[in-house]
Chains A and B, each alone.
Chain A
Amino acid sequence: MTQDSHVPFGMPRPVALDLAEVAPETVTRNGALAADEPEAAVAIAEGINVEAAARESGVFEVIEDLDRELVGLDPVKTRIREVAALLVVDMARRRFGLEAERPNLHMCFTGSPGTGKTTVAMRMATVLHRLGYLAKGHLVAVTRDELVGQYIGHTAPKTREVLKRAMGGVLFIDEAYYLHRQENDRDYGQEAIEILLQVMENQRNDIVVILAGYKDRMDQFFSSNPGMGSRIAHHIDFPDYDLDELVAIARIMLDRQNYAFSSDAAPAFRELMSRRMPQPRFANARSVRNALERARLRQANRLVSTGMLVTRDDLMRIEAEDIYKSRWFTEAGRQGSPEA
């Protein structure tokens, strides 16, 4: 039959501190501290190597991956490191019977498009899962459409359905400020916000909500929904990438798809980005990806039209001419591309 020990389910592989062992006690610990004294004493005698514990939980691997695969974003990385450290210490404290409330883990990511908010949210889910704060560690990404209904009585079940799907993981609400429509106070978005708040408060152990969007509009959103702002502990701002970082991102993206810049393509790409950056609708890493996609198209076209034998190297290499044909060179008009 069912075991009596109320081990939280879906607990990830046992963490060094053996959360599974600790958790059931913490549930009943209020006022029952004396009962655990002997065990706590043993643990204190041994001491806990917090760093080793964190290492064994595999959290550092995730964070190192994050460091390696994501260019720039230093404030974000620092913040995630801090959050992870807090959670590791929190685990250690529980081991010693130092009761503290489960830290508030709801977050708000602000920043321009393409600065890696979704990617970081996904990593965050993994980190929280490894540390045992989330049972499953999956990410459910939604926008207003998936939360807010079309008619009276439609919103609540819809929002609740999404929340239930996200249980045990992270609910990522992109452009969360659209939930609140200032000009229309009968908008159903308000209902969705209320249900969100209720679940964020009551089911803190089962779900982590991450809101994302532009900084200024997010601030506006919080000022009109103070309850939401106060329930979010971590406000993380994602800075825009600079030119060097964009080129580094391009290299990583190409590398992942087994492409590479030729020696003169890299400066060409750098120039392309310097022209693209001040333009409207520049979306950081997303623009880099789009530019690379188009470069791939042109490379394919060039290879097909040569009519000569193509080597493995040719197939992998993006040449400068593939980049100079971009409309940012021709339309800007300042400098015609050398080839076209």
Chain B
Amino acid sequence: MHVTQGTFSYLPPLTDAQINAQVQYSLDNVWAISVEFTDDPHPRNFLWDMWGLPMFDMRDPAAILLEVQRCRDAYPTRYIRVNAYDRTLGRQTTALSFIVQRPKDEKGFRLDRQEGRDRQVRYTIHPYALDRPPGERYER
């Protein structure tokens, strides 16, 4: 199951050249760029682990791609995304966020139903990946 989170997630995975282009666009806008990774793909989990500090005064996308590649080498089976933060007064928010690596086998989600009082039913999404301990969720 293809997780759709962040920008471009309905498209086929971006190639490095396309990532390069997006990073260049972010740099042109003077956005601070950071790399993050996780193995918990729940849609409400927006706090991913940081790969190093955000990068502020970079001039060339090669620098960010270097970190992306290092992160990929360290965590070949996890989700990795690139965030671009716009610090402009009045915006001050993540301007662009897109996934640059996903596990080969994305496990997907199931829908849990919880019986409440008065025949009430509560629904919740449960990623199958979470059935295994952190760090081993996408290992084979």
Residue ranges of A at the interface with B (Cβ–Cβ < 8 Å): 1-3, 6, 9-10, 135-136, 138, 157, 160, 163-165, 167-169, 203, 205-207
User: Would you give 7 A-B contacts (Cβ < 8 Å), ordered by A?
Assistant: A2-B21, A10-B61, A136-B59, A138-B59, A163-B63, A165-B63, A203-B66
Chain B 1-28 against A: per-residue CB contact (8 Å), 1 yes, 0 no? Answer: 0000000100100110110111010000
- The answer, among B11, B55, B59, B62, for a CB contact under 8 Å with A1, is B11
Q: Beyond A2-B18, A157-B52, is A136–B60 a contact (Cβ under 8 Å)?
A: yes
Which residue in chain B gives the minimum CB-CB distance to A157?
A: B52
Majority-rule SS of B interface residues: helix
Residues of B whose CB lies within 8 Å of any CB of A are 8, 11, 14-15, 17-18, 20-22, 24, 52, 55, 57-64, 66-67
List 20 extra interface pairs beyond A2-B22, A10-B61, A207-B62, CB under 8 A: A1-B11, A2-B14, A9-B20, A9-B61, A10-B60, A135-B60, A136-B59, A164-B58, A164-B63, A165-B58, A167-B58, A167-B62, A167-B63, A168-B61, A168-B62, A168-B63, A169-B59, A169-B60, A203-B62, A203-B66
Q: Give the shortest distance, in Å, between A90 (CB) and chain B (any CB).
A: 20
**A167 in complex: contacting residue of B8, B17, B21, B60, CB < 8 Å:** B60
In the complex, residue of chain B having the shortest beta-carbon distance to the beta carbon of A160: B66
Distance, CA A10 to CA B63, complexed state (A): 13
Complex interface: chain A residues within 8 A of B15 (CB)? 6
Q: Which residues of A contact B52 (CB under 8 A)?
A: 157
Closest B residue to A135 by CB, please name it: B60
Please measure, in the bound complex, the distance between the C-alpha atom of A165 and the C-alpha atom of B57, giving whole angstroms.
Answer: 6
Once bound together, how far apart are the Cα atoms of A295 and B11, in whole Å?
Answer: 67
Q: How far is the CA of A138 from the CA of B57 in the complex (A)?
A: 12
Closest chain-A Cβ to B17's Cβ sits at a distance in Å of: 4
Q: Given A2-B22, A135-B60, A135-B62, do A164 and B14 touch, yes or no (CB 8 Å)?
A: no
A168 touches B17 (CB 8 A): no
Tell me if B59 and A168 are in contact (CB < 8 A): yes
Chain A residues whose C-beta falls within 8 Å of the C-beta of B61 in the assembled complex: 9-10, 168
Question: B8 — which chain A residues lie within 8 A by C-beta?
Answer: 1
CA distance A169 to B62 in the complex (A): 11
